[in-house]
Amino acid sequence: MSTAFKSGFVAIVGRPNVGKSTFLNRVVGQKVAIMSDKAQTTRNKIQGIYTTNESQIVFLDTPGIHKPQNKLDEYMDQAALSSLQEVEAVLFMVSAIETRGAGDNYIIDQLKKVKTPVYLIINKIDEVDPNQLLPIMDTYKKAYPWADVFPISALKGNNVDQLLDSLVKILPEGPQYYPDDQITDHPERFIVQEIIREKILENTRQEIPHSVAVYVEWMRPNDAGKLQIEASIIVERDGQKGIIVGKGGQRLKYISVGARREIEKLLGTKVNLKLWVHVQSGWRDKATALNNLGYSSKNDY
């Protein structure tokens, strides 16, 4: 006798830089969310799809929740918090190498309004002594009635399969929303933009990450049979443009080459990538600019 197919949506929330994107990429087996050691890397709700013969879990990897400093931050917080009302379960991810702080307490207060099961996920256990785990778990257990607690390593894979099995058990019977081989609902254009932004984060200094956006102007095959991609990099100040371009255009070349190689691997085709850097002062606080760049509640990819 065959069992009924189960499906549902699961949100991943937590402070910036606790490993949410690493976890999502681990689960779906391919990069759908960019990873960086710089905080607030994820800006949109990244949707990743985990499918087996018996079930399908659609994960929402939300931006790291933090105190807003501008309209972009407000958008990111709203995107994260709104997802909590639309899912079968919530994963609250914390880092084993960081102590519980005001940011965690703020998120826990928001979780108290949620009616669905909330799991505590303690990530990066591969970076701490095992004897430290129980005190960390106790710190959080007193703050909220978690449905369950899972210490994991998203990077190494420790306990990730056990977490997935636990989630499947609470899913309702439902349809398979996406085909077996689909791992995200984002269009290729969005993934390309995120890959370019990741390479910028990897190659620039601390001031750049929060001040940069990427917009793909167009993607189409050229006469040579390659996929021609032209994209604009938006920054707020001339000095930031200089940092990205680099001496003699060298840093922009590194960014372009790194992004092109990863895009080719993702799409399985040769790519010709051209990048342009534009200064748009104060774009993070301008509603029109945010909307044009994809950061608005009406345009959440």
For 33-65, write each residue's pLDDT tens digit.
544 444 444 444 557 889 999 999 999 876 656
**In the chain, pLDDT over 90 holds for what percent of residues?**
36
The answer for residues whose C-beta is within 8 angstroms of residue 169's C-beta and 6 or more apart is: none
Region 115-136: what's the mean pLDDT?
Answer: 93
Answer positive or negative: Cα dihedral of 91, 95, 100, 102: negative
Considering only residues 271 and 190, tell me which one the structure prediction assigns the higher pLDDT: 271
For 229-254, write each residue's pLDDT tens digit.
999 888 888 888 888 898 999 999 99
pLDDT for 88 beyond 60: yes
Region 133-143: what's the mean pLDDT?
Answer: 92
pLDDT-wise least confident of 43-47, 103-107, 145-149, 280-284: 43-47
How far, in Å, CA of 299 to CA of 72, rounded?
13
Considering only residues 120 and 45, tell me which one the structure prediction assigns the higher pLDDT: 120
Determine the pLDDT at residue 269: 83
Structural contact between residues 8 and 86, judged by C-beta atoms closer than 8 angstroms:
no
For 165-184, write each residue's pLDDT tens digit.
999 999 999 999 888 878 77
Q: Which residues pair with 277 in a beta bridge?
A: 233
SS3 of 164, please? helix
Determine the pLDDT at residue 44: 45
Q: Which residues pair with 48 in a beta bridge?
A: 59, 184
The answer for residues whose C-beta is within 8 angstroms of residue 300's C-beta and 6 or more apart is: 44, 45, 79, 294
For the chain, what is the mean pLDDT? 81
How far, in Å, CA of 235 to CA of 241, rounded?
6
pLDDT for 257 beyond 60: yes
Determine the pLDDT at residue 223: 80
Determine the pLDDT at residue 39: 41
pLDDT for 68 beyond 90: no
How far, in Å, CA of 159 to CA of 24, rounded?
14
SS3 of 126, please? helix
Region 201-227: what's the mean pLDDT?
Answer: 77
Query: Which of 88, 196, 85, 94 has its CA nearest to residue 136?
Result: 94
Determine the pLDDT at residue 206: 58
How far, in Å, CA of 25 to CA of 213, rounded?
22
For 145-167, write each residue's pLDDT tens digit.
999 999 999 999 999 999 999 99
Count Cβ atoms below 10 Å from residue 195 Cβ, excluding itself: 22
Question: What band does 262 get if pLDDT is binned at 50, 70 and 90?
Answer: confident
For 285-294, write each residue's pLDDT tens digit.
555 555 555 5
How far, in Å, CA of 148 to CA of 50, rounded?
20
DSSP symbols for 218-275: EEEE-TTSSEEEEEEEEESSHHHHHHHH-GGGHHHHHHHHHHHHHHHHHHTS-EEEEE
